[in-house]
């Protein structure tokens, strides 16, 4: 959170996937960054719910996880509609670069 804010991003946090989904429906964010393993609703279910919601489906969804490290987990996340799948740990500069690349890509798509 601190690193994203330092890089100029506004960050809101949720304690679990269900809370994140509720927050997103109330005020759609520009991007969702989620762990895979969370209580109440895991990241895979959250991604599935976001991508099937008409209001939320175009929001970039990034997995940032240290739990689901198998290639099949990455494939599932991308199949569900995730924009990126980042394994922890990753250097802060690389993480911020990935986030900025996704924002840049989404901005370019919207211009077309």
Reduce the DSSP state of residue 95 to 3 states and report it: helix
Mean pLDDT of 28-39: 95
* pTM (predicted TM-score): 0.91
Q: How far is the C-alpha of 102 from the C-alpha of 86, rounded, in Å?
A: 12
CB atoms within 10 A of CB 96: 17
Is the pLDDT assigned to residue 109 strictly greater than 80? no
The confidence score (pLDDT) of residue 106 equals 79
């Amino acid at each position: 959170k601190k690193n994203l804010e330092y890089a100029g991003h506004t960050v809101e946090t949720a304690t679990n996937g269900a809370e994140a989904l509720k927050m997103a429906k109330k005020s759609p964010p520009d991007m969702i960054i989620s762990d895979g393993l969370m209580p109440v609703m895991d990241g895979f279910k959250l991604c599935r719910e976001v991508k099937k919601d008409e209001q939320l489906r175009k929001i970039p969804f990034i997995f940032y996880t240290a739990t689901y490290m198998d290639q099949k987990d990455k494939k599932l996340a991308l199949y569900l509609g995730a924009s990126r799948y980042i394994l922890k740990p990753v250097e802060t500069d690389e993480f911020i670069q990935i986030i900025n690349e996704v924002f840049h890509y989404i901005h370019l798509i919207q211009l077309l």
